[in-house]
Amino acid sequence: MIFDSLGASFIYGFLIRRGKLSGIADIDIKKPIFFVLGFALEFGVLNLTDKYPIIMTYRAYIHFLDYLMLFIGLWYNRQNKYMKVIAIGIILNFIVIFVNGGRMPVSINALNAAGISYLVPELQKNVIPTHQAMTAATKLKFLSDILYLPKPYPLPKTFSIGDLFIATGIFLIVSNAMIKASKKVKI
């Protein structure tokens, strides 16, 4: 959802509201290294499991460390009103992930409705380090990946309420920075 949100913010902030792309450079993110580390850990878990199977053994700990990095980054940016929106999403995702053993539950029905049922076998084999199939035992199902965007959306997907908050916060940060830059008085 991050890339979808960035794309939407560019369309809205730059094309529709006639903002300036240069405004993105004015976004003040304190200690961005924590966000970079958090996303790097997530990327590593998702993409290196085949090469390093031990990741599956320690996936919950790695995922926890990933969230710890994000929480530290959010703490340093707690004064930013849009980061507070992102923080709500990250907290909601953290809660559902960790009450369900360290992985985000995904609704099989939502995957099918989104038209991405090719992901179902991998979830049912239980081999995805960051996600798992939703079952009757899943806790806090309403916070899981139960929402979906089907075709004709160009990138069909399932997502959670937390993801929606994160995407909204990113959209607001980026689009408002572009719009604000276009309103600066030139001397």
pTM over the 0.85 mark: yes
Please, what is the angle between helix 81-99 and helix 59-76, to 10°? Answer: 160
pLDDT of residue 50: 81
Pull the structure tokens for residue 146. Answer: 């139960």
In a domain, residue 16? The reply is yes
Phi-psi region of 138 (alpha: psi -120 to 50; beta: other; left: phi over 0): beta
Domain containing 62: what range? 1-182
Q: How many domains does the chain have?
A: 1
27-49 burial: b if 16+ Cβ within 10 Å, else e: eeeeeeebbebbeebbeebeeeb
In a domain, residue 187? The reply is no
Per residue in 104-127, pLDDT (tens digit) is 999 999 999 999 999 999 999 988
Per residue in 1-58, pLDDT (tens digit) is 888 999 999 899 988 988 898 899 999 999 999 999 999 998 888 888 888 888 888 8
In a domain, residue 177? The reply is yes
